Amino acid sequence: MAEHAGRDHFGALVNHGTRAYGRFAARPEAVNPLDEYTGVSRALRRLRLKEWVGFTLIHPDLYSSMIIQDANYLASSELYAYDRAAGALYQHAANARGGSLGMPDVLSGSRPVFAKPGYRLEYSFAGNGAERKPHHIVVDIAATDKAPAVRASLELHADRASAPLSVSSRVPGGKLYTHKAIFPVSGSYAVRDRAFTFEKSRDLAIIDEHKSFFAYLTRWLWGTLAFTGADGAPIGANFCARPGVPGEEEESCVWTPGGCEPLAGITFTQADAGSPMAPWHIASADGRLEVTFTPEGRKDVKVQLGVAALDYYQLFGSYRGALRSLDGAVYAVTDTHGVCESFRARL
């Protein structure tokens, strides 16, 4: 078992130059992977640090994901919204100087924001406290010649959130830290002349935070899904297949009403590798994840920046199948909204 696995709560990912590894019961108060290094080594590592905070929204009529990210040689933000009734995909993106965003080490009480003229995406995370106050997402993006305006004001209900997925692990050529959780969400989201209302009894937001050093050649397959259970608690799964280091924790889990349970040995099998919209079958080695993903739309990103390059796509659609908890409970997955993505890059 990795060092500190299962630890309930602690102040920092790195203490006195020593990094904790494993699967944690809560996000460390402070996460700065650079604190493991000093001097020239720290400066060089900064250029390799990839930081982002993104959300996938779960709503019956709208597929949407958003991200604020800083690769320290380039900072950027992206948002897409897919109106299912209209069958229309709208995308916005903006870039900034690498290292300019100041991504927070302490998430509690922070306000990550990407702001440029005509583009603003802001998260507001409530501070620590017994009240477990809500977090907020604000979107204010003006219309362009390619996409309509997008405006949203969403409240994430931390008092009803799932248990967190918090993992620190070694990966080939690098180190990974990620934090994920599911939140019931309420509020408004408007695209063009369409207004979508989010209801906390039905709709969800999945946070995806990373502070990781990746190898120059990096690839993964990843997916996530969530739905509201009969008792109102979020249920879902996060699953990833990437090259790993034996004995290290993977960033895969099943979220049940009672907790966040580890998964491992994830396989992705595409029904037709030649078809960009073919279904995927995804399973864990122990059978507790067994789902089929049917895409409804696709977002592609291809970037060529000299020695750096990115070939990435995210599919949005629905999952069917089953999730199983460690105690044998079965959770049916029926036309559940989620995403599935392929990432290949030279970073």
Number of domains in the chain: 1
| Domain presence at residue 18 | yes
* Angle at alpha carbon of residue 49, lines to 63 and 123, rounded to 5°: 40
Residue type, 316: F
| Domain presence at residue 5 | no
The closest of 124, 120, 114 to 151, measured between CA atoms, is: 120
- CA distance between the termini of the chain: 30
| Domain presence at residue 77 | yes
| Domain presence at residue 8 | no
| Domain presence at residue 7 | no
Structural domain boundaries, residue 304: 14-346
- Tens digit of pLDDT at every position of the chain (347 positions): 344 455 555 799 999 999 999 999 999 999 999 999 999 999 999 999 999 999 999 999 999 999 999 998 889 999 999 999 999 999 999 999 999 999 999 999 999 999 999 999 999 999 876 457 999 999 999 999 999 999 999 999 999 999 999 999 999 999 999 999 999 999 999 999 999 999 999 999 999 999 999 988 889 999 999 999 999 999 999 999 999 999 999 999 999 999 999 999 999 999 998 888 999 999 999 999 999 999 999 998 777 666 666 788 899 999 999 999 999 999 999 999 999 999 887 76
Sheet containing 289-305: give its strands across. 259-262, 253-256, 234-241, 217-228, 330-346, 308-324, 289-305, 280-283, 267-270
| Domain presence at residue 257 | yes
Cα 169 to Cα 261: distance, rounded to the nearest angstrom: 17
Question: Is the Cα dihedral 40, 46, 48, 49 positive or negative?
Answer: positive
| Domain presence at residue 47 | yes
pTM listed for this prediction = 0.94
| Domain presence at residue 268 | yes
3-class DSSP assignment, residue 214: coil
The contacts of residue 134 (CB under 8 Å, 6+ apart) are: 126, 155, 156, 157, 158, 159
